[in-house]
Amino acid sequence: MSRPAVPPRGTPQVSVDDLEPGMLLADEVRDQQGRLLMPAGTELTDRHLRAFQLWGILTVRIRAMHEGPEPADPPLTPEQLSEGEALVRARLRETDAAHPFIAELVRLCTGREARRLAQERQHG
């Protein structure tokens, strides 16, 4: 269930044999089943490099050295959050909204959905 990833522009694909401690991952590293092994932004250590070899990871995308941290997203307005929550709740209308797992899912998805809508409107 691996998602096709579109690599960020300018992020080189590097063989694990050429990696060095201190490099930063540009993308998540996932196994063949799609399970997250290491999140984007991880600063690599010797232990990570050994783990890649054990997991059979051949290449990863590394953040270019001149890149700074990811720019922070602007804060969402209450209206954007409300619209995002309405969409999420509509999608999950057949679930038990009082269940702690569903409540947390709604909380997490609301921000993502609101941000997606805001970006969609900003870019046309």
**pLDDT attached to residue 44:** 93
Is a pLDDT exceeding 70 seen at residue 37?
A: yes
Residue 33, pLDDT score: 84
Higher pLDDT, 74 or 47: 47
- Which token pair is 99? 């269940």
Q: What is the mean pLDDT of residues 29-39?
A: 87
Residues 83 and 118 in one domain: yes
- Answer whether residue 104 is part of any domain: yes
Alpha-carbon distance 122 to 84, whole Å?
15
Residue 48 inside a domain? The answer is yes
**pLDDT over 50 (residue 6):** no
**Do residues 77 and 23 lie in contact, with contact meaning Cβ atoms separated by under 8 Å?**
no
> How far is it, in rounded angstroms, from Cα 110 to Cα 88?
6
6 found inside a domain = no
pLDDT at residue 34 above 80? yes
- Beta-carbon neighbour count of residue 26 at 10 Å? 22
Strand ranges for 1-116 from DSSP E? 13-15, 29-30, 36-38, 59-61
* 85, 116: one domain: yes
For residue 114, the enclosing domain spans: 78-122
